[in-house]
Structure 1
Amino acid sequence: MKVVGLITEYNPFHNGHHHHIKEARKLSGADYCVVVMSGNYVQRGAPAFLDKYTRTRMALACGADLVLELPVCFAGASAEYFSMGAVSVLNGIGVIDSLCFGSECGSIEVLKEASDILLTEPPLFKKVLNDSLKTGKTFPQARMDALQVYMPQTDISLFSSPNNILGMEYIKALTTLNSNIMPLTIPRISSAYHKESLNEGEDSVISSATAIRRAIRNGKQLTDLVSHIPKEVFPLLDSTYKKTWPIFEEDFSLLLQYKLMTETSTSLSRYLDVTPDLANRIKSLMEPGLTFSEAAKVMKSKQWTLTRLNRSLLHILLNITEDSMKQYKAAGYAQYARILGIRKTASPLLRSMAKKSKLPLITKTGGTAVKLPKTAQAMFQEDLFSTALYNEIVYNKFGIMPKNEYKQGIILQD
């Protein structure tokens, strides 16, 4: 039995994701495809456009055999923590042979070379990195300067591309965990990760998730998206549109305002990614009436990127602290593998996981928390809280309350 792992968000699922699944199966020769997917919050520091169970149905309908949830503490974190969390899930379940991800460069050798440098951080790398930071450059910019010293023949701008950055971090994570999982990459095709406009074409057009979300926000109809998403996905979108989605950052604005009113600069600095300097900036610049997105833009500076600020605000909102992340890191990152959905034909895969997994496999919520070790309990409670909050936002916006985590079972796909 060969199994390939994918790390995803599917926010929402589109033709590029369908292509990824098919090419990952082909490249790896896998019998089964296991997906680790962000839950109701995503890595750019925002709520998911659609809830995790709808996105699970999309993935299963389009070729995934098993969908596991990435714990929320990792889902909305930096590329390093996001990757360590997701890879530790795949490594922990004991059945994954390869990890296949998309990249802009399409070269596993280049990504391996860069990841080795980032992992070892040679003295000259550290010096160039620190010198660049002192000039006011952001950390990603400074890191590119340092990589350029060791990879002079490589177009260093490659390492500013989102999928290349994640690719390097995935390989770093595999090395750090001493994993036997083989990294594979396929070239990202057709549309840039953050391209904001839909690509044009007759059918099976690949547009970015960013462009699809923006199109809906700007008033496009679902029928305008038919050529940009797999045919299996459209009915799922259509049946839930304006019932449970779309969800945007702005929908959490009042909650964020309330949360920040209850905090001081000192208490804010305990949250993940919030330094004392940033805590002071948040308290001094946050004004009544600012939306979630507006707040991040007001606080943006050379030192703090917009994405970093969005993540920081999300961590504050979801009560994810620096101390808790340190505990998870010390314990080996992911503390369980929570199953969101599975194809009925993948029962042999599930049986193999039951025998080989080093992580507890969570198949239902009721009674789970008390059976987990203390650190795992804390991580799982964060997942439960974040989903309950998301569901309240859905109810407030559409008047429909999604099933809570105790009533929602695993999605079973024929």
Structure 2
Amino acid sequence: MKQYDVVIAGGAMAGATLALALSRMSSGALSVAVVEPFETDHQSHPGFDSRSIALSYGTIEVLKQFKLWSDIQPVATAIEHIHVSDRSHAGMTDIRTNDLSVSALGYVVELADIGRIYAEQLQKADNVTFYCPDSVAEINQQLDTTQIKLSSGHELQAKLLVAADGAVSTCCQQIGLELNEHDFEQVAVIANIVSSEPHAGRAFERFTQHGPVALLPMSENRLSLVWCLPPESAQTVMEMDDGAFLHQLQEEFGWRLGKLEKVGSRASYPLLLRYREQNIAHRFAIVGNAAQTLHPIAGQGFNLGIRDVASLAEEIMVHSNDIGSYASLMSYKKRRQGDRKATIELTSSLVHLFSNDWLATRIGRNLGLFAMDNLPAFKAPLLRRTLGIVER
């Protein structure tokens, strides 16, 4: 049975970030194992697929702390301006870098690029062992350790097991941590778009009667589309040819980027809120999508997960003499309670507020957008949470 300080189930964004953070914060002193079911070729890996994600200002600061940002920055596109609007109505607001005196509000990166960079960095980390393809088959919690049997037959022993194995976490199922679900009755259609006008670092969130349309700036003047629709509408647009798809998207989004000229391959996935009230158990902690999976509105999910990772890594280092102890895990739980609750409530309320065309909610959201654009005291708290500048 091989001994480790920390075993991480899941080697995608949350798990790999945690492994690299622990490696660098401990200067290689901690022994870490990562158990990952999928080969990291970044073509078929579901955690490093064709999607893009927006890294908030706060997430960039965390990645700098872990000495990871310098490798990611060359493949990242800066968000310098965010425009939020309500289709066919007056409400709109703009967020610019000078609102916070920062050089960028965030950055957009392609998951495939992150996967490649992380794989290279993990190979260089002598204190990190990668079990791949492999998965956690059995968990046996002891007083001072956790024993983990892998599907391959390998047996590991760790002071702490961390579940970073996605929304439907098999580790959490084995431990017995309850999963709560809420179906937003929407489907996200994702694709890369090219418009006739340069994006110039602008990101757009457009609220329609069906749901939000987000376009994020990418390299080579591409835009990453997340189009939230009712399931039947999503099925219809997924079956359209490129011309019809672009025409329908143009109708919903408008002409702020000129004509939408090209669309790449499309994918779709249902939108659900999944979260676990308990994010710890005996010598066990959860981070990222295993703890909570959010609606993509306002781009909060991944950034909330990175704050999980950062807080857990810091608690592990503070309690490095007894990793996985009750004291360290309770401290992690308390640190994450407020941020998790506030962010889950924010995204869920935004979905319900901006995904219908009822008169009362239409008036309310337009008044809200007006207030954000004209009342700094109203705008500042929401802006700080959106940018990930929050206590953790």
TM-score normalised to structure 2 length: 0.31
Which of the two has greater strand per residue?
A: 2
Which of the two has greater helix per residue?
A: 1
TM-score normalised to structure 1 length: 0.29
